[in-house]
Amino acid sequence: MTWRELIALLDQIDNGLASLAVIACGVWAAGHALLNKRDPRSALVWVSLSLAIPVLGPLAYWLLGINRITRRALQWKSHRQGDASEALSLQRTMPAVLPAPYDTLQAIEILSSKVARLGLTTGNRIEPLHNGEEAYPAMLAAMAQARYSLHLSSYIFDGDGAGAAFVEALRDAAARGVAVRVIVDAMGERYSRRTARNALLGSTVDIRHYLPLHQAPFINLRNHRKLLVVDGSVAFTGGMNIRNNHCLGAVAEDRAASDLHFRVAGPAVADLQRIFLEDWHFLSGQIPEEPELFPELPPVGNALVRTIADGPDREFHKLEWLIYGALSTARHRIRIMTPYFVPDRPLITALVTAALRGVEITLVLPAKNNLPFVAWASRASYWELLKHNIVIVEQPPPFAHTKLLVVDDLWCLIGSANWDTRSFRLNFELNLSVFDRELAAGLNRHFDAVLTSARPVSLAEVDGRPLTVKLRDGIARLFSPYL
């Protein structure tokens, strides 16, 4: 064999090995999609791309098609969680029998007991607080009374403006011997010009980042929870961060964000304390054991509350399931308010099915969204909802950041979660499932007040959008799994 013949043979072998490698990558990607994609349409797309487009198809699947979020969250949680759930009594409970006024919604309670780890507590009081003007003074007053522990978790916590008062309250509490623990999401901190961490330098406040960006350098797996627990006896939770824009009188209308926060008293506070401490254990490896963390909490009201902590570290999407269950259980009326509404196919189907059963559904969304791309994706779904008599109204500025769901004037879902993929599947959220006629009546009054200034959206208006706008909205909707 001549030298040239040897080179030609080696070239043929190299080309054959390269071809086998390309085929193997395509087959691997296609097989992985078949085994792991629950949606057959998604599986079909990735199998077709992987087999039909050599190299680029498998590469696209490797980069975009594999769900690394849940796997990474499970890995991070498992290596730190240890015996935290057992130590904090985070075990799943049996469903409770609801009293007569709520027995038509027993199915929601049964479902909640199957997907949530914490039980239904009785004897609670939930008080809505409107915007920073009501919420912040109430929170600061409670912090000033702290004697043993002060636990604060926020997605965004500015160290200046409205946040400066919180920084000072935390400093003062730590100086008088209170155990002060603070969690701020590492991505959310990037919204602040002056961070709470910098503002608290020199104090004894123990402040931790949730998933520092060197561990999680992307926008998923963020802790979107908002929670303040004082002495284990009173708590505040909802959708409000700690920053100036929630004080409507302090900033221009185009920068303001209206919202609701909630003061919680009663036995449910202990569950909120447990959720904070579980997050704290994940970040620090510590389970604080001060006896004052869980004081006796006598009944103070009539609300039945179950705490729903959800995130991608769970195999199933409990918050999403709970909303589907509520939509299917409703008999008369569903009222929804959310700043970000990017429904997938199952959620649209659940809403339309409820409407076809004769349930009155009203959806309140902001007229001007702070994330235009999200608003475009949302409007691409309007036509199908409007066609089936679901009422959509747009609330004028300031930006409506409120998140609530009221079913049959009896059951409420309140907390940090929006109605989008990010809240349902990618971030860590905290919500309360509440059976309370009084709270529902208060939220309905808030809802009615919003409706007086909100603008109804008509099917003719949506159908009459220019073609360029329809195309823009449709393109935005393609990215709905990532919004």
Q: Which among 303, 338, 372 is the end of a domain?
A: 303
Mean pLDDT of 39-68: 66
Q: Which CATH number does the domain housing residue 146 bear?
A: 3.30.870.10
Assess whether 251 and 350 both reside in one domain. no
Say what the pLDDT of residue 201 is.
92
pLDDT recorded at residue 234: 98
- Same domain for 160 and 271, yes or no, is yes
Average pLDDT for the chain: 86
Residues 458 and 350 in one domain: yes
Place 301 in a pLDDT band, splitting at 50, 70 and 90.
very high
pLDDT digits over 392-448, tens only?
999 999 999 999 999 999 999 999 999 988 888 888 999 999 999 999 999 999 999
Q: Do 365 and 385 contact (CB within 8 A), yes or no?
A: no
CA distance 72 to 182: 24
Report which of residues 37 and 133 the model is more confident about.
133
- HEC letters along the chain: CCHHHHHHHHHHHHHHHHHHHHHHHHHHHHHHHHHHCCCHHHHHHHHHHHHHCCCHHHHHHHHHHCCHHHHHHHHHHHHHHCCHHHHCCCCCCCCCCCCHHHHHHHHHHHHHHHHCCCCCEEEEEEEEEEHHHHHHHHHHHHHHCCCCEEEEEECCEECCCHHHHHHHHHHHHHHCCCEEEEEEECCHHHHCCCEHHHHCCCCCCEEEEECCCCCCCCCCCCECCCEEEECCCEEEEECCCECHHHCCCCCCCCCCEECEEEEEECCHHHHHHHHHHHHHHHHHCCCCCCHHHCCCCCCCCCEEEEEEEECCCCCCCHHHHHHHHHHHHCCCEEEEECCCECCCHHHHHHHHHHHHCCCEEEEEEECCCCCHHHHHHHHCCHHHHHHCCCEEEEECCCEECCCEEEECCCEEEEECCCECHHHHHHCEEEEEEEECHHHHHHHHHHHHHHHCCCEECCHHHHHCCCHHHHHHHHHHHHCHHHC
pLDDT digits (tens, 9 = 90+) for 172-192: 999 999 999 999 998 898 888
Asked if the model's pLDDT at residue 82 lies above 80, the reply is no
**382, 240: one domain:** no
What average pLDDT does the segment 227-255 reach?
94
pLDDT class of 218 with cuts at 50, 70, 90: low
pLDDT higher than 90, residue 23: no
- Which position has the higher pLDDT, 37 or 432? 432
Instruction: Give percent of the chain above pLDDT 90.
Output: 62
Domain interval for residue 357: 318-482
Confidence of residue 222 (pLDDT cuts 50, 70, 90): confident
Higher pLDDT, 272 or 61: 272
Based on the domain organization, do 441 and 340 belong to the same domain?
yes
Instruction: With respect to residue 93, please indicate whether it lies within any of the assigned structural domains.
Output: no
pLDDT range class, residue 53, cuts 50, 70, 90: confident
Task: Report, as an integer, the average pLDDT of 377-395.
Answer: 95
Q: How far apart are CA 268 and CA 305, in angstroms?
A: 6
| In a shared domain, residues 477 and 424 | yes
User: What is the model's pLDDT at position 40?
Assistant: 63
Residue 292, in any domain of the structure: yes
Residue 203 lies in a domain: yes
* Digit-coded pLDDT (tens) for 89-118: 665 566 778 988 899 999 999 999 988 889
Per-residue model confidence as pLDDT tens digits over 326-346: 999 999 999 999 999 999 899
Q: Does residue 64 carry a pLDDT above 90?
A: no
Could you give the CA distance from residue 119 to residue 387 in angstroms, rounded to a whole number?
Answer: 39
The domain total for the chain is 3
My answer on whether 295 and 146 are in the same domain is: yes
Segment of 142-151, 208-217, 242-251, 288-297 carrying the highest mean pLDDT: 142-151
Identify the pLDDT of residue 13: 58
pLDDT attached to residue 1: 57
Pairing of strands 303-310, 333-337: unpaired
Given a cut of 90, whether residue 480 has pLDDT beyond it is: no
Whether residues 138 and 276 share a domain: the answer is yes
In a domain, 154, yes or no: yes
For residue 9, pLDDT over 70 is answered with no
> Does residue 36 form part of some domain?
yes
Q: Which long-range contacts (CB under 8 A, 24 or more apart) does 109-116 make?
A: 109/306, 109/435, 111/321, 111/322, 111/325, 112/306, 112/308, 112/322, 112/325, 112/433, 113/306, 115/308, 115/316, 115/318, 115/321, 115/322, 116/92, 116/306, 116/307, 116/308, 116/309, 116/318, 116/322, 116/433
The average pLDDT across 120-143 equals 97
Answer yes or no: do 128 and 242 share one domain.
Answer: yes
What integer pLDDT is reported at residue 257 of this predicted model? 93
Mean pLDDT lowest for which of 167-171, 215-219, 319-323, 462-466?
A: 215-219
Instruction: Give yes or no: residues 364 and 462 share one domain.
Output: yes
Q: Has residue 98 been placed in a domain? A: no
> Are residues 407 and 339 located together in one domain of the fold?
yes
Is residue 362 domain-resident?
yes
pLDDT of 478 = 85
Decide if pLDDT at 75 tops 60.
Answer: no
Say how far apart CA 101 and CA 230 lie, in whole Å: 32
79, part of any domain: no
Note whether 329 and 286 are same-domain residues.
no
Tokens in use for 280?
A: 């704290």
How far is Cα 433 from Cα 273, in angstroms, rounded to an integer? 16
